C-alpha cells in the first residue's frame, strides 16, 4: 500500500508549492481537495487523477471529517495513490494532526508535505517580516475560532504576554469574532500597536488594510474584508506605513511598504 500523502497546497499561488508537493500531485491517482486550495494548484495533477472536493466552499455542504477519512482509507486500501490536499500547511490548524492519527489508527502510513501557511504568505506578500531583532522576539500562530465545546482563549492574557515578551500575533479564523478579540487583546497590548488584516493572501484577490489595533475592526469593515483572512498584530508591522483602505483596487499588492 502506498502511504497517504497529506500535502500542503500553500495559500493559493501555485508558484508557492514545494517541489515535493508537485511530485505528489503528479503521482496521485485520487486527490481529496480541501477548502481554500487555489484552483491553479490542481494544474499539477495527473490528467487522469480523480479530483474529489470535500470542502464546504467547493461543494454544496461541508463533507463530514469522518466520511472524508473513510473515503481516503478505502482508496488507499485499494492500492490507489492518495493525496489529501490542504490549504496552507497541513499542520497549521485545518485538522491535519487529527487526520494523521485516524489514518495511522486504520493501519495506513502517512507522509506529510509542508506548505506555506497563510499567515506567512500574508506578510511576505507585503515584504514584511514576522520577527525582527528590534521589534519582535517571536511569533504566535493562534486560532480565533474555538471548538464548539472548547474553551475560549484568554485573549487578554495573550495580549499581556505579547506586550511583555514582544511577540507578533498571527490570528487565523477570527473575522467573525474580531471585535471581541481585539477588545480583549487591548487589555494587554497598547491600543496603537500596528495591526494588519489580509484577505485572500497570495491570490489575485488579495486585499488588505493596516492601522492601529484599536481601529482595525472598523477599517476592515469599511473595506469590506471578510473570511478567509489572517490578522497580524505587532510592532514588527511598523514598516508598513500609512493606513491603506483599498477596497480591491489593482494597486493593493504594491502599496503600503514604506
Ligand atoms: N492550514 C491553513 C489554515 C487552515 S484554517 C494554513 O496553513 O494556512 C483556515 C484559515 O486560514 C482561514 O479562516 C484564514 O484565517 C486562513 N487562510 C487560509 N487561506 C488564506 C488566505 N489565502 N489568505 C488569508 N487567510 C487565509
pLDDT at 151: 79
For residue 133, what are the contacts with CB-CB under 8 A and spacing of at least 6? none
Sequence spans of domains, the chain: 4-116, 119-244
Confirm or reject: Cβ of 228 under 6 Å from ligand 1: yes
- Got the DSSP string for 120-168? HHHHHTTT--S-BTTTBSEEEEEES---TTSPPP-HHHHHHHHHHHTEE
Confirm or reject: Cβ of 185 under 6 Å from ligand 1: no
Atom of ligand 1 nearest to the CA of 96: 1
pLDDT at 192: 97
Asked if pLDDT for residue 62 goes beyond 80, the answer is no
Distance set, CA 40 to CA 9, 13, 208 (Å): 10, 7, 22
What does CATH list as the number for 119-244?
A: 3.30.950.10
Q: 4-116: what CATH class?
A: alpha beta
Q: Mean pLDDT of all residues in the chain? A: 90
Asked if pLDDT for residue 70 goes beyond 50, the answer is yes
Reply yes or no on whether 173 is catalytic: yes
Reply yes or no on whether 175 is catalytic: no
Residue % of the chain over a pLDDT of 90: 80
Catalytic: which of 5, 72, 173, 175?
173
pLDDT at 250: 37
Each residue's pLDDT tens digit, 17-51: 999 999 999 999 999 999 889 889 999 999 999 99
pLDDT at 146: 74
Instruction: Give residue 78 CA to ligand 1 midpoint distance, Å.
Output: 32
Instruction: Give residue 199 CA to ligand 1 midpoint distance, Å.
Output: 9
For residue 45, what are the contacts with CB-CB under 8 A and spacing of at least 6? 25, 26, 28, 31, 51
Q: How confident is the model at residue 127 (pLDDT cuts 50, 70, 90)?
A: very high
Confirm or reject: Cβ of 207 under 6 Å from ligand 1: no
Confirm or reject: Cβ of 229 under 6 Å from ligand 1: yes
Confirm or reject: Cβ of 12 under 6 Å from ligand 1: yes
Asked if pLDDT for residue 245 goes beyond 90, the answer is no
Catalytic: which of 34, 89, 184, 235?
34
Reply yes or no on whether 56 is catalytic: yes
Q: Which of 51-60, 110-119, 236-245 has the lowest mean pLDDT?
A: 236-245
Each residue's pLDDT tens digit, 215-237: 999 999 999 999 999 999 999 99
pTM score above 0.85: yes
Q: Average pLDDT of 91-108? A: 94
- Asked whether 49 and 28 are in contact (CB, 8 A), the reply is yes
pLDDT at 36: 84
pLDDT at 57: 57
Amino acid at each position: 500500500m502506498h502511504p497517504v500523502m497529506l500535502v500542503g497546497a500553500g495559500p493559493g499561488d501555485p508558484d508557492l508549492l514545494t517541489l515535493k508537493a508537485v511530485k505528489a500531485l503528479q503521482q496521485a491517482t485520487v486527490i481529496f481537495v480541501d477548502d481554500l486550495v487555489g484552483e491553479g494548484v490542481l494544474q499539477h495533477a495527473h490528467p487522469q487523477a480523480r479530483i474529489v472536493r470535500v470542502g464546504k466552499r467547493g461543494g454544496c455542504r461541508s463533507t463530514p471529517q469522518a466520511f472524508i477519512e473513510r473515503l481516503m482509507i478505502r482508496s488507499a486500501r485499494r492500492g490507489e495513490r492518495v493525496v489529501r490536499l490542504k490549504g496552507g500547511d497541513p499542520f497549521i490548524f485545518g485538522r491535519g494532526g487529527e487526520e494523521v492519527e485516524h489514518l495511522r489508527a486504520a493501519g495506513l502510513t502517512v507522509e506529510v508535505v509542508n506548505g506555506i501557511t497563510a499567515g506567512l504568505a500574508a506578510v511576505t506578500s507585503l515584504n514584511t517580516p514576522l520577527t525582527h531583532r528590534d521589534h519582535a522576539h517571536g511569533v504566535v500562530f493562534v486560532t480565533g475560532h474555538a471548538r464548539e465545546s472548547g474553551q475560549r482563549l484568554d485573549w487578554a492574557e495573550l495580549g499581556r504576554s505579547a506586550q511583555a515578551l514582544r511577540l507578533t500575533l498571527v490570528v487565523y479564523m477570527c473575522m467573525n469574532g474580531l471585535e471581541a478579540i481585539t477588545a480583549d487583546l487591548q487589555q494587554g497590548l497598547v491600543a496603537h500597536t500596528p495591526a494588519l488584516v489580509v484577505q485572500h493572501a497570495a491570490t489575485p484577490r488579495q486585499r488588505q488594510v493596516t492601522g492601529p489595533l484599536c481601529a482595525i475592526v472598523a477599517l476592515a469593515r469599511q473595506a469590506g474584508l471578510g473570511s478567509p483572512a489572517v490578522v497580524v498584530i505587532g510592532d514588527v508591522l511598523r514598516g508598513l506605513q500609512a493606513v491603506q483602505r483599498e477596497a480591491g483596487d489593482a494597486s493593493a499588492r504594491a502599496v503600503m511598504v514604506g
